[in-house]
Structure 1
Amino acid sequence: TNTFSKPFVSLMGEFTNASQVLYYKNYCYSFSASNILKWNTDSLILHTIPVSQVTDKDITSMALDSLGNLWLSTDEGLVVYNQVKKIFRHFTIADGLPAYKMEGNLYCGKNGTMHFGSVDYLLQFQPEKVLASIEKIPAIRLTELLVNNQIQAVDESRKHIFSPNAHNFIFAWSILSFADPLNNKYYYQLKGVDKNWRFAGNMGRVEFVNLSPGHYTLLLKGENENGISANKILQFDFTIQLPFWKTTWFVFLIIALMAIIFYGLYRYRINHIRKLEALRNRISLNLHDDIGSTLSSISILSALALHKEKNRETQDILETIKNNAISLMDEMDDIVWSINPRNDSLHSLFLRIRSFAAKLFEAKNINYKIEIPNSILHIKMTMQNRQHLYLILKEAINNLIKYSACSEAGIAVNFHKPLLSISIEDNGKGFSMNKDYAGNGLKNMKKRADALGANLKIQSKDNEGTKVNLTLKIK
């Protein structure tokens, strides 16, 4: 008959040097020179713990207490292994053992008392009491704070505020567990900087350098040599102040000062513009009333004198005076119009051009078409640029009237922001560009176009009419 209920062959390699077998809740335990062995009695799944993780000495015996903790006697004391927490704890002479080497046998009695016997002595203890004494939760304290290498008073209950010059912080903390302090472990986390806890070693000390201004929360924790965490997590809130030039009130102050300065400059500019407009109005009015009336008087008086004068030579002189006076009156009217600030818009300029051109076209019986878009209604132009543009267009219209001998003419204005395009064309006799372009009128048009930053293009051929196109950018 088969004595064993399940085959055991698969485990035999691990048991070549195994000693002592214990049973606890469907698990068997044993140990060899290299491993602590644990296997399920139903599935026979084997788990091993390398002895090197527990001790560098030999294991002499093993026992299980009522809580399932493994107790091992070794050449350097007793070792207990908590299977739930998966942690080891060593006991030596410093913990009260009678000898350094525990060479003998461990046994757990029915009442839970652990017995250890050797040739020299018998040791008895209650595992629960021993473990309770070592599993006492330790307290934790912040022991030191240095800022720029200067010791600071520590008060965890309040927020600490440091100047913008605080650039070096050293924190030291400790757990009150002195059984094996060199094996205590410490951790920290600076909220907003660290996503996870960072290991601070076995001394509980961390240094921060060149932290940016702002609010910080430092969390500190620790655990003793048995892996038992301290009774709480320390929280230290502190603030590094912004330099005054980065503070909200300073930014608002600068913004307010800039607003006052810009408003002052704006008011100065508005007042300056108003003063210029008042001056232009005054000059325009004076030119119109004083010089305009004087020229008008000269024209009228010369006409009256011409009517009465019989001498031919004197008549010619008076005729010249009258014509010059009329010409000056026209030019004065243009000057008065250009100076008047009410005429600063392009719309006003093209209304004047339309009025000027219409009178001449109708006087010459020329069929004409003038197109002015509404998109230029509120576009402003400086007095000087407006005068340049007006005189270019006026010269082009005068040339058309004087030389083209046309029957049809057209003026078209187009505005596609920021480009303004103006064309004046006729179906007249045209002219040779190479032959006639040296005229003063065309040269003046070119100079004024350059002053405007405009592109002036004149196209003409004999008997094919003339087209003047002006393109400029409106700022």
Structure 2
Amino acid sequence: MSKTIMSRWAWGVLLLLVQASVAQVGPSITSISANGIKKTLSPSNSLQLNALDDELMIEWKPCACRYRYRLEGLNADTVSLAYPIAMFTNLEGGDYTFWVQTQQNNVWSKPTRFFLQVEKSITEEWWFWPAVAVYILLLLGAAIYFFLLYNFRQKLKLHSLRNRIAADLHDEVGATLSSIVIATRLVEKKVGAQTPDVLPILQQIKTDSEESIQSIRDTVWTLNPNNDSVHQLFEKMRSLAFQLLTPQEIALDFAIQLTPEQINQLKISMEQRQNVYLIFKEALNNILKHAEASKVSVNLSMTNEGELRMLIGDNGRGFDATQGYEGNGLKNFKKRALDSFMKTTLTSKIGEGTRLEVIVVPV
């Protein structure tokens, strides 16, 4: 009896030792594939993948047990599962260690492990994003360069076109009108005494031609790129005011209340320059024709918003602005102001003169 018990005990101990020994042996890796292509471990028990191998599958020999594995370098968590397969996707470049264990009779085997090295993709290199940033900056710089070059060439074309138009107006149209004026004067001398009824017609032709010549000169001056500065506009306005008012013995107070820096800051278009000058000229002509003034004041300044303000006032007879009177001059003011994004304000009272304010909004 005692021998039988001893024999069973010995076999039990032996069985436990065998099971424990078996449990100490880790599972055998049976298959490794990347993107569906079989891979083989090197003699140093390692595997190297390139950056394009974004799917990794590892299989080991199945048994009636449970499994757990870990990929050190990816995370510190151990994954338990009931089937002999592990899958990984989109591994970043770097060094990893994969190990797997089996569990039998609540005993975990020794881990079976191998080393894994994944090649870094180009986007993971330290220099990649700085290189992308430099590339983008180069593209941006090239785009800005070609944009500025295009604008510069367009300005050169416009500059050349303006010069050509100004020259054509001056040489052809201006010369033709001058010839008409000269011819009209000759006709006046030859037939004026014989046919006095023709004189008013000839005089009108001469007057219209002279006004057209002056308009052509003003247009040529505006088109000339050499006259693009605001300072030159102010000087032309001052010259015109003295030219028109001095012969009529009208006192002129022409004040420019802007510093040279403020004048350079004023950015107004060619069309605005032309209309500012024409409004100014129209205002002076209206004063000469209707105001009966003895003094005219012109004030050029800058508003707090950086806009050009032009004030023209006289001490003439004025008119009742509340009556809605609107002659051709006032209509011209409004039309030119509307065309060039300018604001005009006209105030007048009988016996107190007239005041015109023009605000030029930069465009």
Deviation per CA, 1:66-113, whole angstroms, max 9, x where unpaired?
Answer: xxxxxxxxxxxxxxxxxxxxxxxxxxxxxxxxxxxxxx9xxxxxxxxx
Of residues 421, 426, 430, the one that matches 2:308 is: 421
* SS of equivalent to 1:390: helix
5 Å matches for 1:394-433? 394-404=281-291, 405=293, 407-414=295-302, 419-428=306-315, 429-433=317-321
* SS of equivalent to 1:422: strand
Cα distance change, pair 453–228 in 1 and its aligned pair in 2 (3 A): farther
- Counterpart code for 2:81: G
* SS of equivalent to 1:172: strand
* SS of equivalent to 2:323: helix
5 Å matches for 1:375-454? 375-377=262-264, 381-404=268-291, 405=293, 407-414=295-302, 419-428=306-315, 429-435=317-323, 437-454=325-342
Match in the other structure for 1:276: 158
Unaligned runs of at least 5 residues, structure 1 = 1-103, 105-116
Cα distance change, pair 121–322 in 1 and its aligned pair in 2 (3 A): closer
Q: Counting strand residues as a fraction of each chain, which structure ranks higher? A: 1
Cα displacement (A) at 1:207: 3.9
Mapped contact 2:163–2:224 kept (Cα < 8 A): yes
Mapped contact 2:258–2:301 kept (Cα < 8 A): yes
Of residues 50, 60, 65, the one that matches 1:160 is: 50
Of residues 214, 222, 226, the one that matches 2:100 is: 222
Aligned residues: 339
Cα displacement (A) at 1:135: 9.2
Match in the other structure for 1:205: 85
5 Å matches for 1:239-388? 269-299=151-181, 311=193, 313=197, 316-363=200-247, 364-374=250-260, 375-377=262-264, 381-388=268-275
Cα displacement (A) at 1:186: 0.8
Match in the other structure for 1:8: none
Q: Counting helix residues as a fraction of each chain, which structure ranks higher? A: 2
RMSD: 4.7
Cα displacement (A) at 1:336: 0.8
Mapped contact 1:373–1:413 kept (Cα < 8 A): no
Q: Does 1:186 align with 2:35?
A: no
- Counterpart code for 2:156: R
Cα distance change, pair 426–173 in 1 and its aligned pair in 2 (3 A): same
Separation of aligned partners in 1, 2:345 and 2:80: 81
Separation of aligned partners in 2, 1:372 and 1:306: 49
* SS of equivalent to 2:39: coil
| Larger Rg over CA atoms | 1
5 Å matches for 1:457-472? 457-472=345-360
Mapped contact 1:396–1:424 kept (Cα < 8 A): no
Q: Which TM-score applies when normalising by structure 2?
A: 0.69
Unaligned runs of at least 5 residues, structure 2 = none
Separation of aligned partners in 2, 1:215 and 1:339: 66
Separation of aligned partners in 1, 2:114 and 2:242: 93
Q: Which TM-score applies when normalising by structure 1?
A: 0.55
Identical aligned pairs, as a percentage? 24
Cα displacement (A) at 1:441: 1.5
Separation of aligned partners in 2, 1:141 and 1:237: 19
Once the two structures are overlaid, the 10-residue window that deviates more, 324-333 or 221-230, is 221-230
Separation of aligned partners in 2, 1:360 and 1:140: 110
